[in-house]
Amino acid sequence: MNLFYLDEHKACSNYSNAIQEGFIHYRVDAGKSYADESKKDCILFLLKGKIALRTGERKSMLNSGDMTFIQRYSWCELEFHEESDIIIALFENTVDNCENMNFSRFLPMRDQIKYEMLPMDIRKQLYMYLELLTEYLDSGANCIHFHEIKMKELFWLMRFYYSKLELATFFYPMLGSDYHFRNKVWSNYRKAKSIKELAELCHVSLSSFKKQFNKEFDEPAGR
């Protein structure tokens, strides 16, 4: 069923034809390939099909009912071994304080995890959500506020139906005590020509930046 008054929706200033943060639905033929840099943090949901994924040195095989997390600015290579039905969730600033707090709570589990970027299963309740979301997206539901609400619902469902250790493992690259600081670094590091300039873009002193960077990323800031 199509949306009523789609032209009116498209005329709204909050309607987006190019989603920057939110959800995109793709159907891809077998034999296709794709390579690009992920500009946002991304969750790839494979509703149907089979995909070989490479990000940096890590490789994984995704089958129907799998999902995987891809960190911002990762170089991704996808090979579609079967006709595939996927939803991409792109986020950067849409994760609200409740989710940020939970990422921080996962930090003590980091030492328990041997991160291998393995896919995680899409559980029944989440799959039902994604099936309905597919209908919305295919009908042209691209209101920015709609995508924000559905993104919050996604994180609620993940907290409801996955253990803390499962989520800590899935979102391992994002784990830290200060998600806002990490987000500022990820958002600005390509704009900066030096550590001093990056500290200024993050609105902290150079000494505080170096201390916080080492704490968050477990390595010293480069020169």
Higher model confidence: residue 5 or residue 99?
5
Q: How far is CA 152 from CA 28, 96, 159, 187, in A?
A: 27, 8, 11, 21
pLDDT on residue 95: 59
DSSP H helical ranges for the chain: 6-11, 97-105, 124-138, 144-161, 164-170, 179-188, 195-201, 206-217
Are the C-beta atoms of 21 and 39 separated by less than 8 Å? no
pLDDT on residue 157: 93
3-state SS class at 73: coil
- Could you tell me the two tokens for 155? 């994180």
Helix-then-strand count for the chain, H and E: 8, 9
What mean pLDDT is reported for the chain?
Answer: 87
- pLDDT tens figures, 7-23: 776 777 777 776 788 99
3-state SS class at 8: helix
Q: Exposed/middle/buried for 5, CB within 10 Å: 0-12, 13-18, 19+?
A: exposed
213: region left, alpha or beta (phi > 0 left; psi from -120 to 50 alpha) = alpha
Break the chain into its structural domains and give their ranges.
6-174, 179-217
Identify the CATH class of 6-174: mainly beta
Q: Binning pLDDT at 50, 70 and 90, where does residue 93 land?
A: low
- pLDDT tens figures, 108-158: 888 888 888 899 999 999 999 999 999 999 999 889 999 999 999 999 999
Q: What is the sign of the dihedral through the CA atoms of 88, 94, 95 and 98?
A: negative
Higher model confidence: residue 211 or residue 103?
211
pLDDT on residue 98: 55
Looking at the predicted structure, is the pLDDT value of residue 94 above 60?
Answer: no
Instruction: Return the residue matching tokens 């609105």.
Output: 203
The answer, as to whether pTM is greater than 0.85, is no
CB count, 10 Å around CB of 64? 14
Candidate from 86-90, 109-113, 134-138, 166-170 with smallest mean pLDDT: 109-113
